[in-house]
Amino acid sequence: MSKRILIVVDVQNDFLEGGALACEGGKAIIPRINSILDNYDYVIATQDWHSDDHMSFVKSKEELFTTVSLENEEGKCEQTLWPKHCLQNTFGAEFPKDLDSHKFNIIVRKGSNPLIDSYSGLYDNAMTKNEVIFRNPTGLSGVLKELDCEDCCTDVCGIATDVCVRFTVNDILDLGLNSKVRIIENCCVGVTKEGHEHTIAEFKEKGVDTILA
């Protein structure tokens, strides 16, 4: 039997206008996402879920949005430094009140290890330790494999197109599922407009269909 799966990436207060890491146009995608939720058999949401001391948080103004080399007990990585956002159990990490989150069947939290960031909903970012590159799973890849079937469709939307949506889609493609993967273009916003456009173009080049809600 065919299944329709929707993945809603990081639609959380801190990524909306007025939030700590606001993406312009974020609030406008909420009613559009609400209008399609009933079209799916499974709705999966991801939630960025950081502790106060998360390694991705910038410590000086000058370094905001820069990418630096970091090393800690888990290993080494290149890390972009973000403003403090999506702190566990705070308003910024919550789903917005007007998003119909009661319709989410599965919620996957990511980024809760203070020593590793997690852009993708499927795996933490890559870290290198003792010359070995590793990525810890969130568990979502197992869920998607179990739900996979020949004429399934997995649609992805959310925030930010150029960061967490991008990494999530790339990881789904790498799983090599039978399901068709599609991006819902007008239910995504980027950290920047250019980042959004660039990522959509990249998806198209990879043969990922883009659709509109």
Residues forming the active site: 10, 110, 164
* Tokens (6 digits) for 100: 């119909």
**Cβ atoms 124, 113 nearer than 8 A:** yes
Q: DSSP 3-state assignment of 173?
A: helix
Question: What's the half-sphere exposure (Cβ side, CA atoms, 13 Å) at 74?
Answer: 17
Buried b (16+ CB within 10 A) or exposed e, 103-129: ebeeebbbbbbbbbbbbbbbbbbebee
Residue 171 touching ligand VGL (CB under 6 A): no
Chain residues 5-64 in contact with ligand VGL, contact rule CB under 6 A:
10, 15, 48
Note the residue count of the chain. 213
Stretch that binds ligand VGL, among 120-128, 129-137, 157-165, 179-187 (CB under 6 A): 157-165
22 binds, among Zn ion, ligand VGL, none (CB under 5 to 8 A by kind): none
To 5 degrees, how large is the angle CA 52–CA 53–CA 57? 95
C-alpha–C-alpha distance, residues 152 and 148, integer Å: 6
**Residue range at the interface with ligand VGL (CB under 6 A); choices 29-37, 142-150, 159-167, 173-181:** 159-167
Query: Which 61-90 residues touch ligand VGL, going by CB under 6 A?
Result: 82
93 forms part of the interface with ligand VGL (CB under 6 A): no
Stretch near Zn ion under the rule CB under 5 A, chosen from 46-54, 67-75, 101-109, 153-161: 46-54
Please, which residues bridge with residue 212 across strands?
none
CB of 34 to ligand VGL, least distance (A): 19
Among 14, 48, 23, residue whose Cα is nearest residue 162: 23
Residue 164 contact, options ligand VGL, Zn ion, none, Cβ 5-8 Å cut-off depending on partner type: ligand VGL
Q: Which does 33 bind (CB under 5 to 8 A by kind): ligand VGL, Zn ion, none?
A: none
Q: Which is nearer to Zn ion, 37 or 126 (CB)?
A: 126
Q: Of Zn ion, ligand VGL, none, which one sits near residue 163, judging by CB under 5 to 8 A according to partner kind? A: ligand VGL
Residues interacting with ligand VGL, by CB under 6 A?
10, 15, 48, 82, 159-160, 163-164
